[in-house]
């Protein structure tokens, strides 16, 4: 059957809380979708795990459900695209094809002490070199967030994994490689460059042999290279889904980590193009072009590498608390009954009456990197009502995004329009305030499945269904928010925000010191 006769793309979106599958037609319109919840396990404080078999089975079932709801034959699907929660690690046996331990999730902090030792032990020259080397060639920082120390922990603490490593039977990979392995029935152990760039084992700077793991990093973290997947371009051929799985053989031709997939789904193809995903937290990525740039307070990551083209880079910044602040208003304070009420209350008042809310429940990430900051409400008077507090919480999310976009611009890339997606973008108030406080247009995507859409775009490019320049015609916006706030007011409000952040900074250490 000719590729043009195959009308659909299957996008697998394996996330932290759910496994989702979306069927797209050749005009990138959603035909059907299905989603199944994935459980998380917390064996110890700070530890987060998932059952790797459950990840695969839920993703498989969601895919079959989406195909059934679309009322199509798998023979009509021309390609599969995969996007996934990044940094989460699975170890399995090549022989039995079974996991050897639960997947260690990106949120897991079990290697905090390992990372802290590496960061602070200046007496060991090799360790000092490791810190500097990691930042210089991976764009990342030593942190349990990334995959390398998770793999190190598995190899040092799980005997059956140690045994499989010695026998050459061990395979380790991120979630995309685990899905590829299962889809191809063990024929392919591969990942894409965007996922590899989040492991802390991959040199994103070098030009020669750029799709290979970094031997020195693997040695530093005691990770055998032969256990890792082959690194491929984001729209390359990753093997074929076995015909027994869906009823037809389907090529896998697009893979990217979730945030990079969202950047691609938003068609942020030009330098300065930026997307923000508003969820429990907020993730910002800015396309910084084909030249590596290092930022002191941001991460640098590979956006993607398309076939026969240079790899492209992005600055990345994360806001730990966004939607979770709204959840706090509802579940812990009882100020609202549902998230949509925030909009109503915020619009009842002209401003916050001088109130600022700093959403530092778990510290502050980029660009402050203050793990001891704590949440604060400042400027309270007897004239403050709950509407002011609710509005201040919404505004705080936009201020945190501005913190990061300003840092991105200090890194040498001018911010263009802000493209946005995620659940919180349904708030017109928040999106307008976001446009006002950054002084740029905010473009809200029409699609509610931008991450999956990015995977489908890559897969479509992989089978030459589309050309890259055609994708912008497929992408549409629901609404464009144009800044209307004058520069003087913007600067005044943001100056107050920066002062509020200073007051909340290092709070946990200050209080601890007073108690002691």
- How far, in whole angstroms, is CA 164 from its chain's centroid? 31
What confidence tier does 516 reach under pLDDT thresholds 50, 70, 90? very low
Average pLDDT of the segment spanning 118-146: 72
Contact indicator for 1, 71 with CB cutoff of 8 Å: no
Contact indicator for 458, 261 with CB cutoff of 8 Å: yes
What confidence tier does 3 reach under pLDDT thresholds 50, 70, 90? low
* Domains of the chain with bracketed CATH: 3-265 (3.30.420.40), 267-516 (3.30.420.40)
Contact indicator for 200, 141 with CB cutoff of 8 Å: no
The pLDDT value recorded for residue 144 is 83
Distance CA 7, CA 5 (A): 6
Contact indicator for 89, 136 with CB cutoff of 8 Å: no
Residue 311 pLDDT > 70, yes or no?
Answer: yes
Distance CA 408, CA 403 (A): 9
Contact indicator for 234, 251 with CB cutoff of 8 Å: no
Average pLDDT of the segment spanning 308-324: 88
Does this model's pTM top 0.85? My answer is yes
Both tokens of 49, joined, read 């795990």
Q: What is the pLDDT of residues 324-379, one digit of tens each?
A: 888 899 988 899 898 889 999 999 999 999 999 999 887 888 898 887 889 999 99
Q: What is the pLDDT of residues 257-272, one digit of tens each?
A: 999 999 999 999 999 9
């Amino acid at each position: 059957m000719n590729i043009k006769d195959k009308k659909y793309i299957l996008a697998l979106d394996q996330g932290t809380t759910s496994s989702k599958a979306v069927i797209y037609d050749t005009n990138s319109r959603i035909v059907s979708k299905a989603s199944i919840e994935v459980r998380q396990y917390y064996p110890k404080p700070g530890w987060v795990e998932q059952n790797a078999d459950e990840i695969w089975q839920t993703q498989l079932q969601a895919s079959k459900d989406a195909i059934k709801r679309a009322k199509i034959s798998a023979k009509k699907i021309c390609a599969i695209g995969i996007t996934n929660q990044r940094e989460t690690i699975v170890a399995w046996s090549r022989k039995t094809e079974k996991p050897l331990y639960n997947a260690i999730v990106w949120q897991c902090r079990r290697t905090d002490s390992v990372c802290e030792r590496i960061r602070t032990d200046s007496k060991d020259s090799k360790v000092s070199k490791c810190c500097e080397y990691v930042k210089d060639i991976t764009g990342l920082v030593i942190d349990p967030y990334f995959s390398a120390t998770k793999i190190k922990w598995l190899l040092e603490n799980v005997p059956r994994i140690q045994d499989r490593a010695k026998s050459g039977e061990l395979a380790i990979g991120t979630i995309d490689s685990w899905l590829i392995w299962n889809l191809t029935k063990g024929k392919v152990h591969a990942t894409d460059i965007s996922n590899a760039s989040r492991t802390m084992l991959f040199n994103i700077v070098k030009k020669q042999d750029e799709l290979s793991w970094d031997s020195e990093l693997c040695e530093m973290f005691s990770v055998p290279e032969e256990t890792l997947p082959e690194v491929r371009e984001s729209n390359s051929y990753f093997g074929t889904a076995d015909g027994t799985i869906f009823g037809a053989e389907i090529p896998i031709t697009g893979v990217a980590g979730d945030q990079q997939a969202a950047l691609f789904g938003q068609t942020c193809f030009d330098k300065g193009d930026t997307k923000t995903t508003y969820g429990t937290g907020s993730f910002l990525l800015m396309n910084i072009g084909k030249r590596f740039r290092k930022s002191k307070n941001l991460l640098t990551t590979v956006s993607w590498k398309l076939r026969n083209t240079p790899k492209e880079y992005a600055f990345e910044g994360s806001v730990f608390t966004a939607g979770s602040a709204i959840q706090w208003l509802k579940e812990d304070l009882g100020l609202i009954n549902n998230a949509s009420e925030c909009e109503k209350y915020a619009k009842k008042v002209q401003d916050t009456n001088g109130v600022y809310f700093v959403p530092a429940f778990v510290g502050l990430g980029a660009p402050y990197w203050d793990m001891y900051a704590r949440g604060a409400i400042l400027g309270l008077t007897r004239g403050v009502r709950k509407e002011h507090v609710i509005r201040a919480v919404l505004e705080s999310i936009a201020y945190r995004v501005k913190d990061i976009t300003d840092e991105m611009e200090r890194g040498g890339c001018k911010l263009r329009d802000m493209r946005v997606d995620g659940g919180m973008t349904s708030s017109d108030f928040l999106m307008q305030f976001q446009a006002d406080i950054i002084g740029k247009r905010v473009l809200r995507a029409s699609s509610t499945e931008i991450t999956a859409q990015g995977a489908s775009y890559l897969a479509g490019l992989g089978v030459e269904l589309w050309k890259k320049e055609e994708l912008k015609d497929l992408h549409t916006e629901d609404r464009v928010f144009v800044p209307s706030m004058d520069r003087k007011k913007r600067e005044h409000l943001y100056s107050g925000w920066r002062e509020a952040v200073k007051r909340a900074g290092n709070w946990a250490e200050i209080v601890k010191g007073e108690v002691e």
